[in-house]
A = this chain, B = another copy of it.
Amino acid sequence: MCDDANYQWRIARYPIGNVQPEDFHWHVEEIPEPKNGEVLLKTHYLGLAPVMRFYMMGQNPSGETALKIGNVIHGRGVAQIVKSRHPDWKEGMMVQGQMGWQTYKVSAMTPQEKFFVMPNYGPNNKLPAALGAGVLGMTGLSAHAGLFATGSPKKGDKMLLSGAAGGVGSMVSQLAANVVGCDVVGMAGGTEKCDFIKKHGCRAAIDYKNEDIAAAIDAHLPSGIDLYFDNVGGETLQAALERLRMHSRIVLCGSISEYTRRDPFSLSNYTRLRRTDSMMKGFFVYNHLHNWEQVMDDLAGWIIDGKLKAVQDFVHGFEHMPRALANLYYGNNMGVQCCNVRGEPEIWN
């Protein structure tokens, strides 16, 4: 892929089950020109999230515009303003926001696109811009809003975390353990991921692909659960509901195990919330945008302090975006799945 055009991934057909190569259409067009009041953005990094499969199905679970076949797929990322005819957004600015799956974008920088200027953090601005596609982007806001604003974690909480090796999960485990002082047991699929999560805040790991989930929870959390951070839904949520301590909290962040089922998952034991005065609380990351600056300051501070290791899992090259999305559903990523769109050298600190 050269820098001579605007490359795009568009929807070729609505996915059924996990995404397939045939669901994506590779489109090349001229780099667009900004009109008065617009800017031209050049994409450097894109973040991937399970919600993108829903975008491709024409649904809009996160409040973005519903897409049709032939549309460019939604996706947030980090970009540089390379031309500006907008009074507030200057050439050279690094920003993050709704770029779509494309290497250039002309934008009037509307509120709907939720663009933020990438801040300078730490001595010598030593945090890489790539973090804006994940850890210091919408994934980071999800982890922070889900754990702190929704889960009300307390020091010493016996905590279960599913999807612990994923983008949100690998942040939540570290924040809960290193910032709050929770006792975190994480769930992930396979030995490699289980080793990974034990290095990122989890006291113990449950390999959901090779262990009996209920028995493993009992073994690692014999007195039950104060806080369950749920990224997967389904049978794991059902098992957690059977093991609640007094005043426990379940944070509904995602339910990836349910997304590719043909029939919706049904929860038969929600009434278990009663006996222990427990709650199940959902959150939607876009409801927390008003906290953006405070959250990013918090997260950047913890990265600089060493409490939070920023883990992003890159594919290199925009052409690999479809594979990167499929990875999320196959559970292949560790940390936030991202795409280094131009295959540029990265800076890690």
Contacts and interface: CB of A to CB of B under 8 A. Distances in A.
Contacts of A281: 273, 277-280
A246 B264 CA distance: 24
A275 B280 contact: no
Contacts of A269: 264
A271 interface: yes
Interface residues of A, number: 30
Residue among A246, A272, A284 with most chain B CB within 10 A: A284
Interface string A230-274: 000100000000000010000011010010000011111111111
B271 A277 contact: no
Contact of A277 (B270, B272, B279, B282): B282
A287 B252 contact: no
Contacts of A291: none
A282 B287 contact: no
Nearest to A255: B271
B267 A275 contact: no
B268 A275 contact: no
A256 B110 CA distance: 49
B271 A233 contact: yes
A275 B282 contact: yes
Interface string A274-296: 11111111111001000000000
Contact of A266 (B258, B267, B272): B267
Given A271-B282, A280-B281, 20 more contacts: A150-B277, A252-B270, A252-B271, A252-B273, A252-B274, A258-B271, A264-B269, A267-B270, A270-B270, A273-B281, A273-B282, A274-B283, A274-B284, A275-B282, A275-B284, A278-B281, A278-B282, A279-B279, A279-B280, A279-B281
